[in-house]
Amino acid sequence: MLFAFRWIVDGCVLDLVESLRSIGVPSECIERAGHLPVAIRGTECAKREARVRGDASSQFASALMLMLSFEDRAASIRIEGDAVSKPYLELTRRMLAEAGVAWSLREPWLYCRERGAIRCDRFDIEPDASSAGYFFALAAATRSKLIVRGIRADSVQADLALLDPLLREADAGRVPLAIYPSNSAGPAEADSLLARYGCAWNEVCALSVSG
């Protein structure tokens, strides 16, 4: 049994509970409907089509997509209403495709997958562009150098639009950019920058998933 307590911010909790119930996972608000704490009892999903509100947190839909990917069975997730954070759903879908589970958009806001199992024991999680945005702005304001490792050139994160004016400056030759190969650890300049101060990057720990 998993309990969620009040150090997690209250909000949209009822949507999460109803989404879990829609696939047969026993869950309930312990004290007051729609508020934490919540009790979730782990069990095999009795149903294979989950429903979640699109105007609630995209984290719920992403969590359902991950959960329904660990069983070798077909499944679907229906987003009710327009999703406010579609790019994050796409990030989850793309990561799972690289792990061997293909989710596809069959119709507006209906994600489906056929049978298949996860075929890897490591997930590479793309850094959060929203959090990095403050540092992008700081580097621009102070005319200093910033290296953010791990963001893909084909990233779908909407907040990377913050880089558009900086890229225009780079194209004009006013801001130098360090280019590095896709799927690499980052540019050599990142290592050189830390080496000046006697530091080095820590190795990223892999997330192991066992069946």
pTM above 0.75, yes or no: no
Span 23-39, mean pLDDT? 83
* pLDDT digits 0-9 by tens, 132-148: 888 887 777 777 777 88
In sequence order, the 6+-apart residues with CB closer than 8 A to the CB of 95 are: 123, 124, 125, 126
Span 74-100, mean pLDDT? 83
Q: Is the pLDDT of residue 209 over 60?
A: no
Q: From residue 175, how far is each of 22, 131, 148, 200 by CA, in Å?
A: 51, 22, 15, 25
pLDDT at 12: 62
* pLDDT digits 0-9 by tens, 146-163: 788 778 778 888 888 878
pLDDT at 7: 37
pLDDT at 2: 46
Rg (CA), the chain: 20
Window from 27-31, 109-113, 172-176 with minimum mean pLDDT: 172-176
pLDDT at 193: 78
Span 162-173, mean pLDDT? 74
Q: How far apart are CA 16 and CA 67, in angstroms?
A: 13
Chain mean pLDDT for the chain: 77
Q: How confident is the model at residue 24 (pLDDT cuts 50, 70, 90)?
A: confident
pLDDT at 211: 44
Instruction: Name the token pair of 197.
Output: 């101060």
Between 196 and 56, residue with greater pLDDT:
196
